[in-house]
Amino acid sequence: MTSLKILSTHWTDHLGILNLLTIIGFTLGLLVGYSQFNFFLSQLFTFLYSVLIIPFIFGLTYKSDILWLNRYESLGGRISSTINQLSADIKIEDPILFLLLLALLIWFTSFYGGFLLTRTSNPWFPIFISAVTIFVTEFYYQGNNNLYSAFFVFFVLIFITQINFINKYKDWRTKKIPIDQQIGSLTRRASFIFVFLLILFAWNGPNIVSAFHKGSAQQKQVLKLLDDIQNKIAKFTAPIEGTTYVRSEFLGSSIDLGTGTHLSDEIILEISVDQKKPAGSRYYWRARSFDNYMDGEWKSSIDNFKLIEANKEITDLYEYFLFPERKFSIKTRINLGLLYTPPNPQQINRPVKAFFQPLPDNKADYLSMTLEEIIFSGENYEVFSRIPTPTIAQMRESTKDYPLWVTEKYLQIPENLNSRIKNLAESITKEYSTPYDKTLAITNYLRKNIQYQETIITPPVNIDPIEWFLFDYKSGFCNYYATAEVLLLRSIGIPARIVFGYAQGQSQNKEDTLYIIRRTQSHSWPEVFFADIGWVEFEPTTIQPVLNRLPGETVAPISEDTLRKDLTKRDLPLLDGGDKYIPENNFPKADGAEEPEISIKGKTVDSPIPFIFMGLFILYSIYLVYEDTKLPSISSAPIILETIFVKRGWTVPEWIQNWADYAKSSIEQKAFKRIAWSLRLFNQQLPFSYTPAELVDQYKKLFPEMSSKADRFLNEYQRAAYSAHAVNSKLLQHQGNKVFQYAIRKKIDKTLRLNKNYS
């Protein structure tokens, strides 16, 4: 009931795991409590089960196609990141810590409830903790699901009455107090009626009481205390208050060049690579590319998308060269809804929604990838990518024989763009003949003639921002550098596009296998298309280092005989924008463009489980009433027969009298009667005045070899009959069966010998 009550609040997703933890924890607690392990071993098993089961249950909240190792890494990262945010007094955006604390609370109360129930019959502390939990939930969630709390109280009170009756029953048996056969059924009926009336009154009582104390000083004092507590935990519960989770950044379907902003040193991504960076390359963490420019704003005219399963190899990516492959493990420090990936992703360990441009031969040019489920700060994802390493020689050999899909999308320039831009491009590149040399000339021009400036004034409204940037202001940040290069190249017939994401970041070791990406590395850059090579990055922004390529031939083109490398594990990231990052509210959306909402909350309905429980409980109650009205079972049949004879004034046959006396006997008396039965097998005279010790003496005279066992049996019986010590009923029955079985074997042997002698 406690876990169902929490689930009914819909505070966050995946609360259903609390039900699973309750069932598993209580079952294991019952088994460990029932076992013969001592307290230390029981605690050890509790710890081991907790370490194994709780992470496993949390792992089930991820998509089934995500590898388990990746799930555990993501969980650890999320928890660590949330704890750091909490300690730094930063608003928490990931509910993982809240969910984890609830899971631990539910797990340990369930486990120790089962353990203490079977080991000590006193599970009151776990029940108390559950009661506090369910009523704190009741206080903070003002919904209409207090039926769970009512069920909780009902079951607890019934449980208390039954435990109390069992303990009293044991005490009565120990003290040899006669017990009416119907006392159990009467107790159950009375407890059901009492508890039902009590809850009926209690659930209406608060309304009556509050009517008399509204506005009192005591009430105000309590409410103030509760309000203070609520304010203190408001930050902790922030992630569960909304209907969607907050993403730190977002790139829509359009981006304004903006005026820039001062960026912090906040860490955004921590990236590790399985090998050293390929020579002649630089890492860029792509979020989204755009193809259409107009009046200082970039838009995407491509809206085709498809879903790609986690860890599924992307086989339709166009490739002209078998570039070196690397595995990137990326740990996020912000909530991500769009992935940051290296170029040419081959496989990702998360399910994604990929936007792409269809190409001939069933190939695709991927522009961006959004996540099916948000990645929280602290989680890990993995990407396998082929890193472009084209050489200068290869790019110089590239022709202007561009595919149609490239020229249709990536040569667009505004119709009203001032001719000065094209004239500038022609003057810069007039001495060069190849697309590569022309591109390099424009890149170098921008690096030498434009000053980097993190923020700029608002461009004039009567002039294109790039024209103003190139000829008047001559200062700006990466959005302007990259846009200027794209427009200059397109104006002279070289296809190019702009990409937003993050620059390479700071390398943390000599091997270049570990990178820290900070907010200040937010970046945009141009990509230029080369025939028979593909998209290649260039770096015109002066704050970034010069991008040096290898001079000679190093990579052979892919041929029909080239075998593709098999890919195995995969994982992935999200989004941002600008070299000098432009906040989301500075990214004007295209008219009618919709920002995809990233939410892991869905519609939920009240669980039918409590009503199923209540139905089963009602059926069980009917069964108990039915059992109470039935005649006693076969074990009480002689008592029924004896009662029938007595009520009718008949003489009770001796065999029925003996049978009824035996049925009325206690467990220890029934066990000891086996001594008498053993003696009667050998026609021994047993006066009614014989004490238990005299009966055992008679047995030992008959079977001297059983003297030690008979004495132990007598001691156990006397302990049960004449002392207040606890009785081991199973041991007593076992010893009684042994002495009687021995007598039977001796009787059989004697009979067989007599028959043999007679023959």
Amino acid 209: pLDDT: 53
With a cut of 70, say whether residue 577 has pLDDT above it. no
pLDDT of amino acid 476: 94
- Please, which pLDDT band fits residue 672 given cuts at 50, 70 and 90? confident
User: Span 237-264, mean pLDDT?
Assistant: 65
Q: Which two tokens stand for residue 123?
A: 């599970």
Please give the angle made by the CA atoms of 650, 655 and 661, to the nearest 5 degrees.
90
When pLDDT is averaged across residues 277-299 and rounded to a whole number, the result is 92
Backbone angles phi, psi at 522, to 5 degrees: -55, 135
How far apart, in whole angstroms, are the C-alpha atoms of residue 85 and residue 332? 13
Q: What is the 3-state secondary structure (H, E, C) of 538-595?
A: CCCCCCCCCCCCCCCCCCCECCCCCCCCCCCCCCCCCCCCCCCCCCHHHCCCCCCCCC
Query: What percentage of the chain has pLDDT greater than the value 70?
Result: 77
CA dist 29 and 24 (Å) reads 8
Residue 185 tokens read as 């059924």
* Range 322-325, long-range pairs (CB < 8 A, 24+ positions): 322/386, 322/555, 322/556, 322/558, 322/562, 322/564, 322/565, 323/278, 323/386, 323/387, 323/388, 323/389, 323/555, 324/278, 324/386, 324/387, 324/389, 325/384, 325/385, 325/386, 325/387, 325/565, 325/567
Q: Which residue has the higher pLDDT, 491 or 140?
A: 491
Q: How many residues does the chain have?
A: 759
pLDDT at 599 over 50: no
The pLDDT of residue 501 is: 93
- pLDDT > 80? residue 530: yes
Find the mean pLDDT for residues 107-117: 90
Mean pLDDT over 542-546 rounds to 93
Res 492 pLDDT > 90: yes
**Between 588 and 196, residue with greater pLDDT:** 196
* Confidence class for position 272, pLDDT limits 50, 70, 90: very high
Greater confidence (725 vs 602) lies with 725
Structural tokens at position 25: 């924890």
357 and 591 Cβ atoms separated by less than 8 Å: no
Gap between the Cα atoms of 451 and 681, Å rounded:
116
Chain-centre distance for alpha carbon 596: 24
Each residue's pLDDT tens digit, 131-188: 888 888 877 776 655 677 777 877 888 788 777 777 777 777 777 666 555 566 666 6
Instruction: With cut-offs at 50, 70 and 90, classify the pLDDT of residue 545.
Output: very high
CB 263 within 8 A of CB 520: yes
Does the pLDDT value for residue 360 go beyond 60? yes
Percent of the chain residues topping a pLDDT of 90: 29
Residues 480, 484, 487, 490, Cα dihedral to 10°: -130
Yes or no: say if 347 and 327 are a contact pair by the CB < 8 Å rule. no
Query: What pLDDT was estimated at residue 572?
Result: 30
Q: What is the pLDDT of residue 228?
A: 59
Query: Quick one: angle between helices 478-491 and 435-449, nearest 10?
Result: 140
Confidence of residue 628 (pLDDT cuts 50, 70, 90): low
Mean pLDDT of 738-746: 86
* pLDDT value of residue 365: 92
Q: Which residue has the tokens 């004239």?
A: 423
Given a cut of 80, is residue 606 above it in pLDDT? no
- The per-residue pLDDT for 465 is 94
H/E element, 436 = helix 435-449
Helix axes 419-429, 435-449, angle to 10 degrees: 110
pLDDT in tens, 438-476: 999 999 999 999 999 999 999 998 899 999 999 999 999
List Cβ neighbours of 122 (8 Å cut-off, separation of 6 or more): 116
For residue 615, give both structure tokens: 């139905």
Q: What is the pLDDT of residue 487?
A: 96
Q: Which amino acid is at 648?
A: R
**Between residues 25 and 374, the one the model is more confident about:** 25
CA neighbor of 12 nearest in space, from 289, 362, 337, 374: 374
Give residue 741's pLDDT band: very low, low, confident or very high (50, 70, 90). confident
Pairing state of beta strands 496-502 and 534-537? Answer: unpaired
DSSP, collapsed to helix, strand or coil, labels residue 22 as helix
Q: Summarize the confidence of residues 645-661 as an average pLDDT.
A: 78
Backbone φ and ψ of 419, nearest 5°? -65, -15
State residue 591's pLDDT score: 35
Write out 447-476 in H/E/C secondary structure.
Answer: HHHCEECCCCCCCCCCCCHHHHHHHHHCEE
On the CB side of 658, CA atoms within 13 Å amount to 6
CB 4 within 8 A of CB 609: yes
Report pLDDT digits (tens) over 611-623.
666 666 667 666 6
pLDDT score at 578: 36
Say whether pLDDT at 526 is over 80: yes
Res 174: pLDDT: 74
Reported as a single tens digit per residue, the pLDDT across 294-325 is 989 999 998 899 999 988 999 888 777 778 89
Q: What average pLDDT does the segment 656-680 reach?
A: 77
Lowest mean pLDDT: which of 149-163, 327-341, 557-571, 624-638?
557-571
What average pLDDT does range 674-687 have in this prediction?
Answer: 80
**Residue 208's pLDDT is what?**
47
Rounded Cα gap, residues 400 and 415, in angstroms: 23
What would the pLDDT profile of 194-229 be if each residue is shown by its tens digit? 666 666 655 555 554 554 555 555 455 555 656 656
Q: Which two tokens stand for residue 461?
A: 């409204």
CB atoms < 10 A from the CB of 259, how many?
17
Angle 250-255-256 (CA atoms, 0-180°, nearest 5)?
130
Sorted by sequence, the CB contacts under 8 Å of residue 108 that are 6+ apart come out as 25, 50, 126
